[in-house]
Amino acid sequence: MAAPLEIEAVISAGARLAGGQHLVTMVVPEIARAASPGQFAMVRCAEGWDPYLRRALPFLRLEEESISFLFAEDDPALVWLARRPLGERVSVVGPLGRGFDLQPATRRLLLATQTGPVAPLLGLAARALASDLCVSIVLEAAAARNLAAIVPGAVEVIPAPAAGFWEVVAEHLTWADQTAIAASMEDLPRWSGLQTLRPGQVECFVAKRLACGLGWCGSCLADTHRGPRRVCTAGPVFDLRELIG
Ligand code: FES
């Protein structure tokens, strides 16, 4: 895993999407080339020290020279980030954490999120499409509409109702070689019926507020079968079998 770097990234694009989501792209080749889908960066979202804490953002796109983030403007710090003009510099630390492990034998990849961030899953989709894999994503219908501008056309979108969402995902698990989901710890009990998962069959990006993102503060512990583990360093991507049951 590459050592994290602290770099002044240059804002190169920004766009507001349907549903209140914001897309920001920054030129920072050193991080773009070192990062993998599922990892994240800690982004300073202020000119000074208020707010003091950086914001943890998973990568949406990883290009040769640039990185992109997708976030809701539900936090004054992220509103500040969304308002940065093109050309402005923002301090970014990354890449951080453990990303997805796209296995060599995988040909059909299933993605799903209901309440977790879609950005790390779309980052994985881009990486999988570049390797000619078949990719499908399960989304609620409203989310699918809001994300239509950024979900690659080659990705099959499977709409699911809010109630019974995870049952739809479970039906599709049977044909997928590998599945990646994004969920909060509170969502995970929905998966506890899946006791027969094989190792690596389902990986989960755990959505959790990260204060330092560097393993220092201990505020991001998740209960796993290996004991409490820091989401920012042991994750944010875990084998789902570590988290449920
Ligand atoms: S966020 Fe500080 S240890 Fe994980």
Q: Domain spanning 108-242: which CATH class is it, in words?
A: alpha beta
- Sequence-distant (6+) residues with CB within 8 A of 63 are 32
Confidence of residue 90 (pLDDT cuts 50, 70, 90): very high
Q: What is the mean pLDDT of residues 64-82?
A: 94
Buried (b) or exposed (e) across 45-56, using 16+ Cβ within 10 A?
A: bbeeeeeebbbb
Residue 116, φ and ψ in degrees, nearest 5: -85, 175
- What's the half-sphere exposure (Cβ side, CA atoms, 13 Å) at 32? 17
Q: Whose CA is nearest to atom 3 of ligand 1?
A: 215
Ligand 1: residue of 220, 229, 238 to mutate (most ligand atoms within 8 A of CB) is 220
Nearest by Cα to 15 from 63, 92, 84? 84
Which secondary structure element, helix H or strand E, spans residue 82, and what is its range?
A: helix 76-82
Residue of 65, 71, 164, 190 lying closest to 119 (CA atoms): 71
54 lines ligand 1 (CB under 6 A): no
What pLDDT is recorded for position 245?
Answer: 67
Nearest to 176 by CA among 148, 134, 139: 134
Find the 151 Cα to ligand 1 centroid distance in Å. 30
> CATH 2.40.30.10 region(s) of the chain?
5-96
pTM (two decimals): 0.94
Q: What is the pLDDT of residue 119?
A: 96
Number of C-beta neighbours around residue 59 at 10 A:
27
pLDDT of residue 83 exceeding 80: yes
Token digits of residue 192: 């506890």
Q: Is the CB of 232 under 6 A from ligand 1?
A: yes
Distance 221 CA to ligand 1 centre (A): 8
Rounded-to-integer distance, Cα 59 and Cα 66, Å: 10
Which band of pLDDT confidence, cut at 50, 70 and 90, is reported for residue 1? low
Query: In angstroms, rounded to a whole number, what is the distance separating the alpha carbons of residues 197 and 169?
Result: 14
d(CA 207, CA 226): 19
Q: Average pLDDT, stretch 54-64?
A: 96
User: Using one digit for the tens of pLDDT, what is the confidence trace for 152-202?
Assistant: 999 999 999 998 888 898 889 889 999 999 998 888 877 766 657 788 889
**Most ligand 1 atoms within 8 A of CB, residue of 219, 224, 229, 238 to mutate:** 219
pLDDT tens-digit map of 105-138: 999 999 999 989 999 999 999 999 999 999 999 9
User: What CATH number was assigned to the domain covering residues 5-96?
Assistant: 2.40.30.10
- So what's the pLDDT on residue 97? 97
Cα dihedral 155/16/205/124 (nearest 10): 30
- CATH 3.40.50 domain position(s) in the chain: 108-242
Beta pairing partners, 181: 112, 204
pLDDT at 193: 65
Letter string b/e over residues 203-229, b meaning 16 or more CB atoms within 10 A of that residue's CB? bbbbbbebbbbbeeeeebebebeeeeb
* CB-based contacts of 1, cutoff 8 Å, min separation 6: 98
Rounded Cα gap, residues 150 and 142, in angstroms: 14
Residue 6 has a pLDDT of 93
- Is there an atom of ligand 1 within 6 Å of 209 CB? no
For the chain, give the percent of residues with pLDDT over 90.
74
Nearest to 40 by CA among 90, 93, 96: 96
Encode pLDDT of 12-37 as tens digits. Answer: 999 999 888 999 999 999 999 999 99
Which residues on adjacent β-strands are paired with residue 180? 111, 203
